[in-house]
Amino acid sequence: AAQKLYEQGHITYMRTDSITLSKQAVASIASYVEKTYGKEYVDVRTYQSKVKNAQEAHEAIRPTNITKSHAGNTDDEKRVYELIHARTTASQMCDAKTLRTKISATIADADTHKFPDFSINGSRIMFEGWLVADPASRGEEVEVPALQIRQKLSLFDITNTEKYTEPPSRYTEAGLIKELEKRGIGRPSTFASIMNTLEE
Q: Reduced to 3 states, what is the DSSP secondary structure of residue 104?
A: strand
Instruction: Compute how many other C-beta atoms are within 10 angstroms of the C-beta atom of residue 24.
Output: 8
Residue 54 carries which DSSP code?
-
Phi–psi pair at 89, nearest 5 degrees: -60, -45
Cα distance between residue 135 and residue 42, in whole Å: 17
Residue 52 carries which DSSP code?
T
Q: Which residues are catalytic?
A: 13
Q: Reduced to 3 states, what is the DSSP secondary structure of residue 69?
A: coil
